Structure formats: C-alpha cells, structure tokens
Amino acid sequence: MIDALNVGGFEPLTTIDYPDNLSCVVFTQGCPWRCRYCHNHDLIPTSKQTQFDWEQIVEFIKTRVGLLDAVVFSGGEPCLQKGLLGAIKRVKALGFKVGLHTGGAYPNRLKQCLDYVDWVGFDVKHLPLNYEEVTQVPKSADKAWMSLNILLASKVDYQLRITKHPELISDDQLDRLKKLMKNKYDSDLIVQMCNADNCLDDKLRIV
Ligand code: SF4
C-alpha cells in the first residue's frame, strides 16, 4: 500500500520556487521544528486535517504535462512524509522534474529520495552551534548537517539559502556562516530576508 501524502497547500504555477523552471508547488503538512521566524506556521502541526487531497492534486498535475517543467515539494518539511518517495516517483513518471525544499530534519528519507530529485533548495538555519536558537529543537543541527553532507555527496543540483531575521542572526554570524559554506562545501549561501509580519514567535513580528 502506498503511503498517502498529507498536503497542506498547493500553488499551481510559480516561477520562483525552482530556479529557471515553471513549476507547481505541493506544500506538505507537518514539520518537526518550530523556527521562530516561520511564517507558514499553519503547516507545522503534523496531524492537522486539511482541505487538500493528494489524489486530486495528482489529477491536476497530469493536466499540466507539457505546460510545466517541474513539481516542487515544499512544506512544512516534506521529508517528514512517509509517502514522499512514492509521490516523487509518481510525478517523475509523468515526465516532470522534481524540486525539493528541505531543512534536513530527516537525513534517511532525504537519502532515499535523492535518486529521483533534480534540484534541492536546502534551508540552512544558522551556524551549527546556534541552530536551536532558530528551530527551538535540540540537536536539530546534527540532522541538518548530516542531510547537507548527504546532499553534497549525491551530486544533485542544489541551492543553499538562509532566511535572515535581524534578531536571530547578526551580520558577523552570517559572514562566518557564508565563509563556512564556501570553505567547507565550496558553496554560496543565498540570503533571503524574512517575511516578518507573521512570525511564529510574535516577539519577532515586524509590521
Ligand atoms: S520555517 Fe522552520 S518550522 Fe517553519 S516549516 Fe520551515 S523548517 Fe518548519
């Protein structure tokens, strides 16, 4: 039996979630972390019932063959889903490229999926010693760095990015993180400014 995918949102057309590709985005429901800046926090509860049905979304995706380049799995944390690998295989079999957004909380599932994924947007949260200050989950850095090493060993195309909230990471810390990524992984770190009007932690909200 194929595990279902618990979907919390769907974007039928986007140009920004997979570089240089027209995509649709499946937002999976549930995340093990509680990033203080998270602005999609409706997607955090894992057991929440949603209005989205994966089978109906697959039927829609079938109508986009030849019109879209890729299907992106985002979240939430897609690698939390037991059904992710099966879902990826289904859209891959339809001829789409597959993009995956992840923070790296589930290294084993990431590893299982990488053979079928064309591009990963990997969300770095902070310097390793400061991860918990963002995610509010102990040892989250261990999982994230394990996942990052798996990703880089896989040769799958990727982008490393970080969401910057000025209260959570200083310019000096950001510079050190960029140098770490450059020196250790020969990778650039893309900095995205935080959408701070709806942060999970209301003390971080800037309206
Ligand atoms: S920002 Fe953090 S808490 Fe929110 S969905 Fe992403 S990883 Fe989960």
Q: Per CATH, which fold does 7-204 belong to?
A: TIM Barrel (3.20.20)
The binding-site residues of ligand 1, defined as CB within 6 angstroms of any ligand atom, are 31, 33-35, 38, 40, 43-44, 75-77, 103
Shortest-distance atom of ligand 1 to CA 76: 5
- Which of the listed residues 27, 29, 38 should we mutate to test ligand 1's pocket, taking the one with most ligand atoms within 8 A of CB? 38
Residue found by looking up tokens 């140009």 in the block? 15
Mean pLDDT, residues 107-132: 98
Q: What is the DSSP letter of 70?
A: E
Average pLDDT of the residues of the chain? 96
Q: What is the pLDDT of residue 73?
A: 98
Q: What is the DSSP letter of 2?
A: P
Rounded distance from Cα 31 to ligand 1 centre (Å): 6
**pLDDT tens-digit series, residues 85-95:** 999 999 999 99
Report yes or no on whether pTM surpasses 0.85. yes
Cβ contacts of residue 199 below 8 Å, gap of 6+?
36, 37, 38, 39, 165, 205
Specify the residue with its C-alpha closest to ligand 1, atom 6.
Answer: 76
State the Cα–Cα distance between residues 84 and 88, nearest whole angstrom. Answer: 6
- Taking the centre of ligand 1 as the mean of its atom positions, its distance from the CA of residue 63, in whole angstroms, is 30
Band of pLDDT at residue 1, cut at 50, 70 and 90:
low
What b/e readout covers 59-85, taking b as 16+ CB neighbours within 10 angstroms?
A: eebeebeeebbbbbbbbbbbbbbebbb
